[in-house]
Structure 1
Amino acid sequence: MVDQERIRLVVLGGAGVGKSAICKQFLFNSFCPKYRTTVEDLYSKEFNVGSTTIKVDILDTCGDQQFPAMRRLSIATAHAFLFVYSIACEQSFEIIKQNFEEVREQREDYQTLPIVIAGNKLDLAPDCRHITVEDASEWVYCELPKMRVKLVECSAKDNVNVREVFKCFLGLSRFLNGTEDFSTCPLKRRSSAYVSHTKASRRAESPVALSVTAATSVAKSPASPTGRGNHTVDQSKNDQDRPKPRSRSLIRRCSRKTKQQIRDSGAVDDCNVS
């Protein structure tokens, strides 16, 4: 049986830097010199990696700042990011810095997300370059040293390093290169029950901390002759207050009930993304 995974790669950057051109060159081996403003385009493609079939959704976002709600939603649902700037435009490089700040503000797991930064328009004349490799590398590897980031320069027009841009995600993903366990991969889509349980586990104290707290409470408890009374009350209170993971069967029942109510009422679900 072949395992299947679905991940979402979100492309961010300023207007006119070639985000759509890179995506279309990679997916369709085509390039259109005519510029067309993108609102939001979604492409899907399957890739076979060993015994795993990976379904990749590439979300090409708008370079203008007129759709902040759409950009926030795309950042919240992404498993990986591709930041694109033009080597001939200093402002485009500042925009991807702003985009990264948005990711850092919205995503607590930003340090574990695979990120590739692509400097496009390598086909232009050398005197047109305003962002050197050294300038970009200084920001990427000095200011973001603990992140899983890769810097690549490419040309969507001449199809130079376009495939390498997307191959970088294979090296940045621990799941795809097989260096870590399948369940720890940031690209792994997890159920809401699993996410709720893991967040509750992170908020809970470690067993060592609980034992230290219990020992301290016993030492400071003059009311209990055996030294166990307060510890038992505190431990039972902690067990009651600790969040429990939601049952997956409950989630499925609620989902089926909601869908049945929609069908009975005749409403149309407009939130499905194909």
Structure 2
Amino acid sequence: MNSTTTMSDYERIRLVILGGAGVGKSCIIKRFLTNTYISKYRSTVEDLYNREYDLGHMTLKVDILDTAGDMQFPAMRRLCIATAHAFLLVYAVTSAPSFDCIKKCFEEIREQRGDYQEIPIVVAGNKLDLTSTHREIPIEDVSEWVYCELPKLRVKVLECSAKDDINIREIFRSFLTLSKIFPRDTEESSGLKRRSSAYVSASKAGRRTASPAPEKDKPGTSEGKDTLMKPRSRSLIRRASRKTKQQMREAQNANDDCNVS
């Protein structure tokens, strides 16, 4: 998806989940879709899940593709990467080799997708519930790799637990923000069912005025209640400018007085 993609292009998204064997990719999906957790391990070849979400201003159709954790099917893996609109890279915080695995997954993405910097990516460290007794990958190491070593990406890093249902929904909410379906930090960017109140407010505000209120004049502040969108007079600005210059000269003179030759 490039920067010129319109909102209608987001009506159907294919999310591909990559990571090593046994890190909990399938468990994350099942916890999110059915709120269930199965401790027994079963290797995955390829599972596809389809869901629709009503966001109010649009219906989002999501294909979630759960891939194999090993490299037995390279052609299938290349096809998954080529057709993805977003990636979830999963490692286990208790396994250093699993972190190395998602680094290799990212290199595959970078090699095959020329638009990789525009693709939403979430890097999730699963098995957070085991960190009290065993941790091999600090989140600081993951953040350093993502934000310092890699080129600028549309990415988010977090840790989660499919077993204890920690940050599972946050993983999938993050794709709404990273995909720019909802603006960053809006109240309902965390929602998947009803229309964002921030989205509605922005739409109505756009019809009323062409420019937003200054930061200190926003409603809810002590000055903003009666001065919303009120321009400052030019004479007041000039007086403030002269006063600032005068203060700078006085400060300079004071500094000169402190210099002893």
Interval containing the TM-score (normalised by the shorter chain): 0.5 to 0.7
- Asked if 1:34 is matched to 2:37, the reply is no
* Cα displacement string for residues 205-225 of structure 1 (whole angstroms, at most 9, x for unaligned residues): xxxxxxxxxxxxxxxxxxxxx
Equivalent in 159, 164, 169 of residue 165 of structure 2: 159
Q: Which runs of 5+ in 1 are unaligned?
A: 180-274
- One-letter amino acid of the structure 2 residue matched with residue 166 of structure 1: F
- One-letter amino acid of the structure 2 residue matched with residue 52 of structure 1: M
- One-letter amino acid of the structure 2 residue matched with residue 135 of structure 1: D
TM-score relative to the length of structure 1: 0.63
- Asked if 1:16 is matched to 2:34, the reply is no
* Cα displacement string for residues 10-56 of structure 1 (whole angstroms, at most 9, x for unaligned residues): 00000000000000000000000000000000001111123200000
- One-letter amino acid of the structure 1 residue matched with residue 32 of structure 2: F
* Partners of 1:4 and 1:94 in 2: CA distance: 31
- One-letter amino acid of the structure 1 residue matched with residue 34 of structure 2: F
The residue number in structure 1 matching 2:143 is: 137
Aligned runs of 1:181-196 on 2, under 5 Å?
none
- Partner of 2:77, secondary structure, is helix
Contact 1:8/1:79 (8 A) holds in 2: yes
The residue number in structure 2 matching 1:91 is: 97
- Partner of 1:93, secondary structure, is helix
* Partners of 2:146 and 2:184 in 1: CA distance: 25
* Cα displacement string for residues 29-88 of structure 1 (whole angstroms, at most 9, x for unaligned residues): 000000000000000111112320000000000001111111000000000000000000
- Partner of 2:11, secondary structure, is strand
- One-letter amino acid of the structure 1 residue matched with residue 108 of structure 2: E
Contact 1:81/1:113 (8 A) holds in 2: yes
Equivalent in 77, 88, 95 of residue 82 of structure 1: 88
The residue number in structure 2 matching 1:60 is: 66
- One-letter amino acid of the structure 1 residue matched with residue 47 of structure 2: D
The residue number in structure 2 matching 1:191 is: none
Cα gap change, 1:93 to 1:53, in 2 (>3 Å): same
- One-letter amino acid of the structure 1 residue matched with residue 163 of structure 2: K
The residue number in structure 2 matching 1:47 is: 53
Contact 1:3/1:51 (8 A) holds in 2: no
Contact 2:23/2:91 (8 A) holds in 1: yes
Contact 2:23/2:126 (8 A) holds in 1: yes
- One-letter amino acid of the structure 2 residue matched with residue 71 of structure 1: R
* Cα displacement string for residues 174-228 of structure 1 (whole angstroms, at most 9, x for unaligned residues): 244399xxxxxxxxxxxxxxxxxxxxxxxxxxxxxxxxxxxxxxxxxxxxxxxxx
* Partners of 1:3 and 1:169 in 2: CA distance: 15
User: Matched residues, percent identical?
Assistant: 65
TM-score relative to the length of structure 2: 0.66
The residue number in structure 2 matching 1:109 is: 115
* Partners of 1:154 and 1:176 in 2: CA distance: 22
- One-letter amino acid of the structure 2 residue matched with residue 156 of structure 1: A
